[in-house]
Structure 1
């Protein structure tokens, strides 16, 4: 059977993202260009989805995570690796001096430049990251200039809180195994200001006591300090996920943002190939159909939890 993205490209006549030619999804008679925004709490798979979409449509990705914009601490900030990027161009990722401040205004200015640059290459800008306050500042600027220039498609990857918290806890353990402690140690400074630059990132201030006092303590006490730091990182990451989810609900329910929810809970409950199939069915396949409709101004609605085959059948029917 033809892969999901190939089926979508065939049905919608979408040019392959690997080809360097004009992207005909942008209607020259329409005033507004189109932008896709991938939102969700930390750990829900936003980066994975953005890459999946960028392999379906000619696209480039703009990072909207306020910590991942900094150079360094790749494990601590959970940056997407070069291998995971699969050749898709990324903007605002690992490009800023770790000691500099990066404000919402900075994000808006640099993102606006990146969007125009991407559109100038006839490609689709995909904004992805968990810093929802920055995304809100960009989309709902004081004079609504952004919305006057761009049509937005909001994709929201959601995972039930208990399942996500369990995953986040395991992810922190995995990060520790991959060298998180040694990476954070390189940024330890007894006089450091944890309110500025990359040192604001979860996974830096939590190690302060361990780095500060550990070398002078017995092994057992030092190990206890390390466990406390790791537990604090897990707790703070779960709290961050809750705050991010609260902001998303506010944007949807109070500000009226038209978010397309994608429930990935079943993906996180499965393992191996079953998890991959659930991802394709519940998240990436459905998202690709939603984005295809968005780009082509199709009128057929795609129910958010349809299986991939039914989505394809619905789209095929809508195009005939």
Structure 2
């Protein structure tokens, strides 16, 4: 369906400029960006329920197996049967770099397009997106990109992030880290870099050797550090997005979701999310899929047999 739509959209333009036999339309890719906690995964899944789409994870901690609560992976129920790629598949002790993400994303995009579906790349690791879009000249030559930036005012987001950490603790964050914990392990590699691991170190090292009051104080301090470091991460992510916006502003759409978070926990929250986030993004993607992109010089592919023809002709004279 997606390929058919692209083909139909580009035919009039190709005929007008006379390169129909040689032009390869650039494939459409949607990106969902934003700081941690802004609802990127939720929006990506909502869009995938409106378009024939599959999601590629671009969160550098969620690529690893394990620590599902700590890394805030979407649950099977939250996925709503939407296929996800690059999610929870890397050994937790390995290091998954931006170059690995770039290769994996290329393969995932081609696989998704091969099923006539739309690739939606969603996640908060903007260094991965930077490496993919700005670090690989071939990517922009082959793909038209639409960037959806879900933004929430920092004071409102910080409050939500703090509450989210509380919910993560309630659903088993401490137990999950305890099961994964290894005294003296290098917390600068693999999934151990995730916020929530090193912050729990002192508590887990001493919990059996101190009295209950001390244990509770250490746990409270650990949870506070998780909240603080998550807020710092959100700030850094937002700064990176502002830098990327200067490069991608023509194709980047900022969606203000602050009102959703101000009404979090109320009956109005879902309605506001639909009207102020999902519906505008749906219209943006719909327009993006139908718009005709002017062909780039780097996207004109000449068959090898035609490239060889002039040389063959010259040899006969």
Query: Which residue of the partner structure matches residue 308 of structure 2?
Result: none
Give CA-to-partner distance per residue, 1:38-83, whole Å, 9 cap, x none: 0000000000000010000000000000000001000000000000
Alignment of 1:116 with 2:110, yes or no, is: yes
SS in 2 for 1:186: helix
Query: Which residue of the partner structure matches residue 59 of structure 1?
Result: 53
State the alpha-carbon separation in 2 of the partners of residues 273 and 231 from structure 1.
Answer: 29
8 Å contact 1:251–1:257 — kept in the other structure?
no
8 Å contact 1:39–1:46 — kept in the other structure?
yes
Give CA-to-partner distance per residue, 1:169-224, whole Å, 9 cap, x none: 00000000000000001111112001101000000000000001111000000100
Give CA-to-partner distance per residue, 1:64-112, whole Å, 9 cap, x none: 0000000100000000000000000000001111111100000000011
What is the deviation of 1:26? 2.5
8 Å contact 1:70–1:198 — kept in the other structure?
yes
Larger radius of gyration: 2
SS in 1 for 2:28: strand
State the alpha-carbon separation in 2 of the partners of residues 22 and 154 from structure 1.
Answer: 18
Structure 2: which 5+ residue stretches go unaligned?
Answer: 11-23, 294-317
What is the deviation of 1:23? 5.7
Query: Which residue of the partner structure matches residue 47 of structure 1?
Result: 41
Alignment of 1:26 with 2:19, yes or no, is: no
8 Å contact 1:156–1:261 — kept in the other structure?
yes
Give CA-to-partner distance per residue, 1:222-254, whole Å, 9 cap, x none: 100000000000000000000000000011136
8 Å contact 2:3–2:113 — kept in the other structure?
no
SS in 1 for 2:106: helix
Structure 1: which 5+ residue stretches go unaligned?
Answer: 1-20, 300-320
Query: Which residue of the partner structure matches residue 17 of structure 2?
Result: none
- TM-score normalized by the length of structure 2: 0.85
User: Which residue of the other structure, out of 139, 144, 154, is the alignment partner of 1:161?
Assistant: 154
Query: Which residue of the partner structure matches residue 129 of structure 2?
Result: 135
State the alpha-carbon separation in 2 of the partners of residues 85 and 67 from structure 1.
Answer: 18
SS in 1 for 2:182: coil
What is the deviation of 1:273? 2.7
8 Å contact 1:40–1:156 — kept in the other structure?
yes
- TM-score normalized by the length of structure 1: 0.84
Query: Which residue of the partner structure matches residue 231 of structure 1?
Result: 224
Q: Number of matched residues?
A: 278
Query: Which residue of the partner structure matches residue 297 of structure 2?
Result: none
SS in 2 for 1:199: helix
State the alpha-carbon separation in 2 of the partners of residues 134 and 68 from structure 1.
Answer: 13
CA RMSD after TM alignment: 1.5
State the alpha-carbon separation in 2 of the partners of residues 200 and 35 from structure 1.
Answer: 29
8 Å contact 1:65–1:130 — kept in the other structure?
yes
Higher relative contact order (CA 8 A, sep 6+): 2
Query: Which residue of the partner structure matches residue 243 of structure 1?
Result: 236
Query: Which residue of the partner structure matches residue 14 of structure 1?
Result: none
